[in-house]
Amino acid sequence: EDKVVQSPLSLVVHEGDTVTLNCSYEVTNFRSLLWYKQEKKAPTFLFMLTSSGIEKKSGRLSSILDKKELFSILNITATQTGDSAIYLCASALGGGGADGLTFGKGTHLIIQP
Amino acid sequence: DVKVTQSSRYLVKRTGEKVFLECVQDMDHENMFWYRQDPGLGLRLIYFSYDVKMKEKGDIPEGYSVSREKKERFSLILESASTNQTSMYLCASSLRIGRGYTFGSGTRLTVV
């Protein structure tokens, strides 16, 4: 059974801290790993990672994939209260058909002023 | 920007009712998905569709059915709503597998 596990499940830090969110996966036909941020209703797309060792960056956020060890991390530097959200990791499968995404349960990040 | 629109933000239905959740996307995406999101369980795939009139079961299809008569519209149907189907329902679409998905803003369904 395909599995995506995120840790920690929740995290409270102070503004300005740097955080690292973890995502490990066990899936067959792995194609890519995606990170989403969910603030209110719907998740919004952050990164898609397909290749090992290549860091993707967007402002203060960055992410990297290790396909040998089957995990990914999401880093947020100089955190702000607006970074408070649930961060979701998902694996996308290859093969025929759409197959959907397998999501982890998310990390609830709270940034205190 | 692709837009995924879910017709209702909040719904309250009675046990046993037939419930339709509608989702429309405007970017000609092949693939559409229905998820439900529950505290402590994360996002779980109910059904997906990779073409008109095509559908595949996801992880938790029991109690649900879907309809994709047109490419832009993917409907989730609760044949006989039950209280354990109270949840947040999210629709998503994508151009290709493995690409970033775009989600609708969700429908909070309460079954009483």
Domains of chain B as residue ranges with CATH: 4-111 (2.60.40.10)
Task: Return mean pLDDT, chain B.
Answer: 90
- State whether A92 and B44 contact (CB < 8 Å): no
Give the Cα separation of B30 and A111 in Å (integer): 38
- Give the mean model confidence (pLDDT) for residues A44-73: 92
Domains of chain A as residue ranges with CATH: 3-112 (2.60.40.10)
Given CB atoms, is B40 within the 8 Å cutoff of chain A?
A: yes
Q: Are A105 and A23 in contact (CB under 8 A)?
A: no
Flag whether pLDDT at B1 surpasses 70. no
For the segment B19-63, what is each residue's pLDDT rounded down to a tens digit? 999 999 998 888 899 999 888 788 888 998 988 988 988 889 999
By Cβ distance, the residue of A48, A88, A104 closest to B100 is A48
- Give the mean model confidence (pLDDT) for residues A28-36: 85
Residue B33, Cβ density class (10 Å: 0-12 exposed, 13-18 middle, ≥19 buried): buried
- State whether A100 and B41 contact (CB < 8 Å): no
A94 compared with B60, residue with greater pLDDT: B60
